[in-house]
Amino acid sequence: GQNIDQPTEMTATEGAIVQINCTYQTSGFNGLFWYQQHAGEAPTFLSYNVLDGLEEKGRFSSFLSRSKGYSYLLLKELQMKDSASYLCAGSNGNTGKLIFGQGTTLQVKP
Amino acid sequence: DAEITQSPRHKITETGRQVTLACHQTWNHNNMFWYRQDLGHGLRLIHYSYGVQDTNKGEVSDGYSVSRSNTEDLPLTLESAASSQTSVYFCASSEGTIAKNIQYFGAGTRLSVL
């Protein structure tokens, strides 16, 4: 089967750290993507993990555990502009297709 | 700069009409995808293509068709628009390699079927 689960909404405070979790079950799994989508805009690529471990990119980090079917996106030093939806997507290496979760809407408050 | 563009950005139509949404990319990507995005459902795949003359059905393909006559374009046609097809439609493209197959998205088309 193919399924991606992530929380629907999260709230955090400016300057804080927030972790957005994602569990997946994807046929032919070949990596886990995170996208950011501001309201009314297109999704934009944030990160990609194919091996277990943490990938750090500035204030954003993404973690993958293939054995547990689990990933998280870590946002540090939150800024108001980080208020957006964060989409988790599993990649099927056989087809090149992405299976998206419903997205987590993050609200950053002052 | 290479990009992916969708047109129109907004469209209002009536039930039963045929509607075509355009998608054009200048990256020379092999793979192109059409998604719809609705509250509570996230992005759902409608159709996709791995190259010229190749098209495949996604998970929500009923009522939609695509054609790929060149590398740059993948137009999406709603044969007879229905109110259930009111949605935001995103086109995406990717290079075609298996590893790190990042999809890049257009700005979207907001379609209302009245």
Q: What is the pLDDT of residues B11-59, one digit of tens each?
A: 999 999 999 999 999 999 999 999 999 987 889 999 999 999 999 999 9
Contact list in A for residue B98 (CB cut-off 8 A) is 30, 93, 96
What is the strand order of the sheet B19-25 is part of?
B4-7, B19-25, B76-78, B64-66
Share of chain B above pLDDT 90, in %: 87
CA-based Rg of chain B, rounded to a whole angstrom?
13
Q: Which of A38, A36, A33 is nearest to A49 (CA)?
A: A33
Q: Do residue A96 and residue B107 have CB atoms under 8 angstroms apart?
A: no
Q: Do residue A97 and residue B48 have CB atoms under 8 angstroms apart?
A: yes
How does pLDDT run across A62-97, given as a tens digit for each residue? 999 999 999 999 999 999 999 999 999 998 877 878
Q: In the numeric block, which tokens belong to residue B61?
A: 């393909």
Nearest by CB to residue A91, choosing from B44, B48, B101, is B101
Mean predicted lDDT score pLDDT of chain B? 93
Q: Which region, left, alpha or beta, applies to residue A25 given φ > 0 means left and ψ of -120 to 50 means alpha?
A: beta
How does pLDDT run across B51-65, given as a tens digit for each residue? 999 999 999 999 999
Beta bridge mates, B111: B11, B87
Interface test with chain A among B4, B30, B98, by most A beta carbons within 10 Å:
B98
